[in-house]
Amino acid sequence: MQLTNYILASFTIISAALANPVSNLVEREILYCGSQPYRPQDYTCYPDNFLCPIIRGVIYQPCHGACFDPANYTCINGELRPVGSCNGQVYDKNSYVCVNNHLCPKTHPNNCGEACYSPSQYRCENGQLFQV
Give the mean pLDDT of 89-100. Answer: 89
Of the candidates 121, 87, 117, which has an alpha carbon nearest to the alpha carbon of residue 102?
87
> What mean pLDDT do residues 49-61 have?
96
**Domains of the chain by residue range:** 105-132
More confident residue, 4 or 57: 57
Quote the pTM value: 0.55
How many other β-carbons are positioned within 10 Å of the β-carbon of residue 115? 15
For residue 2, the model assigns a pLDDT of: 57
Residue 121: the pLDDT is 94
Ranges 19-23, 53-57, 82-86: which has the least confidence: 19-23
The closest of 47, 48, 27 to 39, measured between CA atoms, is 27
